[in-house]
Amino acid sequence: MEINNVDMAVLPKGKIVAEASIARKLLKDGYKIIDIKPKKDRPRESVFIFEVVPGLVEKVEQYTVERKNKFTKRED
């Protein structure tokens, strides 16, 4: 998998999720946040670091696509 942005960055112990809406869905699905840090380019905003477990990366990709499709439909 090619990593193009911070949403898809995978750390050795955690996966960074930059969007709060996606992080919220992952929490509801039972995934565990292991850390919260400020965004480097916008320190008043946060990124959420999730524990890497089977299925997490696929779920983030699914929610990312759903989010993009939701905003694409609004522009039509």
pLDDT tens track for 19-39: 999 999 999 999 999 999 999
Tell me which H or E stretch contains 32. none
Q: What is the mean pLDDT of residues 1-24?
A: 71
Q: What is the mean pLDDT of residues 35-57?
A: 94
Neighbours of 18 (CB within 10 A): 18
Q: What is the mean pLDDT of residues 12-16?
A: 85
**Cα torsion angle, 51, 57, 60, 64, sign:** positive
Break the chain into its structural domains and give their ranges.
6-75
Q: What is the mean pLDDT of residues 59-63?
A: 96
Whole-prediction pTM? 0.76
In angstroms, rounded to a whole number, what is the distance separating the alpha carbons of residues 50 and 13? Answer: 8
Q: What tokens were used for 28?
A: 């509801």
> Where would I find the beta strands (DSSP E) of the chain?
14-17, 33-38, 46-51
